Amino acid sequence: MEDMSIVAPHSTAVVTVGVGPLSLEGVMAVARHGAGVDIADEALSAVAASREVIERLADDPQPHYGISTGFGALATTHIPVGRRAQLQRSLVRSHAAGSGPEVEREVVRATMLLRLSTLATGRTGVRVETAQAYAALLTAGITPVVHEYGSLGCSGDLAPLAHCALAVTGEGQVRDADGVLREAADALAQAGITPVELADKEGLALINGTDGMLGQLLLALHDLDRLLVTADIAAAMSVEGQLGTDDVFADDLQALRPHPGQRLSAANLRAMMAGSPIRESHRTDDCTRVQDAYSLRCSPQVHGAARDTVEHARTVAGRELASAVDNPVVTPDGRVESNGNFHGAPVGYVLDFLAIVVADLASISERRTDRFLDVARSHGLPPFLADDPGVDSGHMIAQYTQAGIVSELKRLAAPASVDSIPSSAMQEDHVSMGWSAARKLRRALDGLTRVLAVEVLTAARALDLRAPLTPAPATTAVVSALRSAGIAGPGPDRHLSPEISTAVDLVASGAVRRAAEQATGPLT
pLDDT tens for residues 424-440? 777 777 889 999 999 99
Q: Is 149 helix (H, G, I), strand (E, B) or coil?
A: strand
How far apart are the C-alpha atoms of 506 and 488, rounded to whole Å? Answer: 15
Residue type, 216: Q
Average pLDDT over residues 439-453: 98
- What backbone phi and psi angles, to 5 degrees, belong to 334? 90, 10
Domains and CATH numbers, the chain: 14-209 (1.10.275.10), 217-520 (1.20.200.10)
Q: What integer is the mean pLDDT of 204-218? A: 96
Which one is predicted more confidently, 327 or 414? 414
Q: Which residue in the list 65, 149, 294, 349 is annotated as catalytic?
A: 65
Residue from 401, 393, 510, 386 nearest 451 by CA: 401
Question: In this predicted structure, what is the pLDDT of residue 2?
Answer: 43
Over residues 456-476, mean pLDDT: 98
**Interval 150-177 mean pLDDT:** 95
Of residues 68 and 2, more confidently modeled? 68
Write down the pLDDT at residue 71. 67
- Which alpha helices (H) appear in 242-344, and where do they start and end? 251-254, 260-273, 277-281, 294-297, 299-321
Q: What span, in angstroms and rounded, lies between the C-alpha atoms of 524 and 509?
A: 17
Percent of the chain with pLDDT over 70: 96
Q: How far apart are CA 216 and CA 201, in angstroms?
A: 26
Provide the pLDDT for residue 1.
43
For residue 151, the tally of other CB atoms under 10 A from its CB is: 29
Q: Is 400 a catalytic residue?
A: no
Model's pTM, two decimal places?
Answer: 0.94
User: What is the DSSP secondary-structure string of 405-464?
Assistant: HHHHHHHHTS-STT----BTTTTB-----HHHHHHHHHHHHHHHHHHHHHHHHHHHHHHH
Does residue 288 surpass a pLDDT of 70?
no
Reported as a pLDDT band with limits 50, 70 and 90, residue 59 is confident
Q: Which amino acid is it at 522?
A: P
The total of other beta-carbon atoms located within 10 Å of residue 223's CB is: 20
Residues paired with residue 100 on neighbouring β-strands, in sequence order: none
Comparing 355 with 86, the larger pLDDT belongs to 355
Q: What does the alpha-carbon distance between residue 123 and residue 254 come to, in Å, rounded to a whole number?
A: 47
Element (DSSP H or E) covering residue 144: strand 143-144
Of 310, 316, 302, which Cα lies nearest the Cα of 353? 310
Backbone angles phi, psi at 170, to 5 degrees: 90, 15
Among 265, 263, 235, CA closest to 251: 263
Residue-wise pLDDT tens digits, 69-110 = 766 666 677 777 777 788 899 999 999 999 999 999 999 999
Who has greater pLDDT, 82 or 239? Answer: 239
What is the rounded CA–CA span in Å between residue 221 and residue 494? 36
16 SS3 class: strand
Q: Is the pLDDT of residue 464 over 70?
A: yes
Tell which wins on pLDDT, 499 or 282.
499
pLDDT tens across 365-400, in order? 999 999 999 999 999 999 999 999 999 999 999 999
> In this predicted model, which residue has the larger pLDDT, 216 or 54?
216
